[in-house]
């Protein structure tokens, strides 16, 4: 029998500093409620549910640090998770890339592996979190949960709004994956990526892509349908439906 690989000291960074423009007017997206609880709290609980995660760093909107602390204080982690998981809040930046960088700065040196998880993916199951952690523990420098696409994808030459756009190519769908979070990293590799890759325009929307730009190998593990990102109003309806079903079938609170 082979010995199991050593447990890696693991932290999760949760970028939650976005505005949620595509969701429409209202509070910043991560602070909006789902089943009566802010989306951000669901995301924190999803990370703390993994026994591997010893620290969760929440990246709050630049002017929302105090509010996020208050929200987290009023929704404490379930007792078992609270005993094993520390929680930190830091202020974020103008792009997701900057926000992740702010979160990384707060991760202590002793941490060996880092998960980066969108607050906007509140319903990721713990099995997916654990699958990502396991792949990092087994030696991958960067791990992305992802799913095959349902739709065929066309590459176009973007034109003026409401004008038909010419199709440039149709990539083979069997080779494409839609990526999710938490993405998992060897900490030093992720820190190097964030030091090396400059923020351009809206910045990188995907940390693994930054590691690819370092020339390092990135691997995909199977994601989960319920790890979808709440982006548009319809996604909120779907998230509420998933929560309602969990409450009936698993007693999820």
User: Exactly one of 119, 123, 197, 236 binds ligand CTP (CB under 6 A); which one?
Assistant: 119
Q: Is the peptide bond before 182 cis (omega within 30 degrees of 0)?
A: yes
Q: How far is the CB of 137 from ligand CTP (least distance, A)?
A: 25
Could you tell me which residues are beta bridge partners of residue 184? 115, 143
22 binds ligand CTP (CB under 6 A): yes
- CA-CA distance, 114 to 133, in Å (whole number)? 9
Residue 8 or 199 with smaller CB distance to ligand CTP: 199
SS3 string, 218-235, reads CEEEECCHHHCCCCCHHH
- The interface mask with Mg ion, positions 9-38, x = CB under 5 A, is ---------x--------------------
Exposure string of 6-42, with b = 16+ CB inside 10 Å and e = fewer, is eebebbbbbbbbbebeebeeeebbbbbebbebbbbbb
* Helix then strand then coil, % of the chain, to nearest 5: 40, 20, 40
Contact 186, 138 (CB under 8 A): no
**Looking at 4-12, 14-22, 74-82, 237-245, which segment touches ligand CTP (CB under 6 A)?**
14-22
**Looking at 21-29, 67-75, 148-156, 213-221, which segment touches ligand CTP (CB under 6 A)?**
21-29
Q: How far is the CB of 188 from ligand CTP (least distance, A)?
A: 22
Q: How far is the CB of 119 from Mg ion (least distance, A)?
A: 11
Q: Which does 29 bind (CB under 5 to 8 A by kind): ligand CTP, Mg ion, none?
A: ligand CTP
15 binds ligand CTP (CB under 6 A): yes
- Going by the DSSP 8-state scheme, the letter that residue 6 receives in this structure is P
Residues that bind Mg ion (CB under 5 A): 18
Residues that bind ligand CTP (CB under 6 A): 15-22, 29-30, 59, 92-96, 99, 118-120, 229, 231
């Amino acid at each position: 029998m082979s010995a199991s690989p050593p447990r890696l000291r693991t932290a999760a960074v949760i970028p939650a500093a976005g505005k949620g423009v595509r969701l429409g007017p209202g509070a910043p997206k991560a602070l909006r409620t789902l089943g009566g609880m802010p989306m951000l709290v669901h995301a924190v609980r999803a990370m703390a549910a993994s026994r591997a995660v010893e620290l969760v760093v929440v990246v709050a909107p630049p002017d929302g640090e105090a509010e996020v602390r208050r929200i987290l204080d009023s929704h404490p982690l379930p007792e078992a998770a609270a005993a094993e998981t520390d929680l930190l809040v830091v202020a974020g930046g103008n792009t997701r890339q900057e926000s992740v960088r702010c979160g990384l700065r707060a991760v202590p040196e002793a941490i060996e592996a880092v998960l980066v998880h969108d607050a906007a993916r509140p319903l990721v199951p713990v099995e997916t979190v654990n699958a990502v952690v396991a792949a990092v523990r087994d030696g991958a420098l960067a791990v992305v949960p992802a799913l095959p696409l349902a739709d065929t994808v066309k590459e176009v030459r973007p034109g003026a709004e409401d004008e038909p756009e010419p199709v440039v190519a149709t990539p083979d769908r069997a080779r494409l994956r839609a990526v999710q979070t938490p993405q998992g990293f060897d900490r030093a590799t992720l820190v190097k990526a964030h030091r090396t890759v400059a923020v351009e325009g809206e910045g990188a929307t995907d940390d693994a892509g930054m590691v690819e730009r370092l020339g390092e190998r990135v691997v995909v593990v199977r994601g989960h349908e319920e790890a979808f990102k709440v982006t548009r109003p319809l996604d909120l309806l779907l998230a509420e439906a998933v929560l309602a079903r969990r409450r009936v079938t698993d007693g999820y609170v």
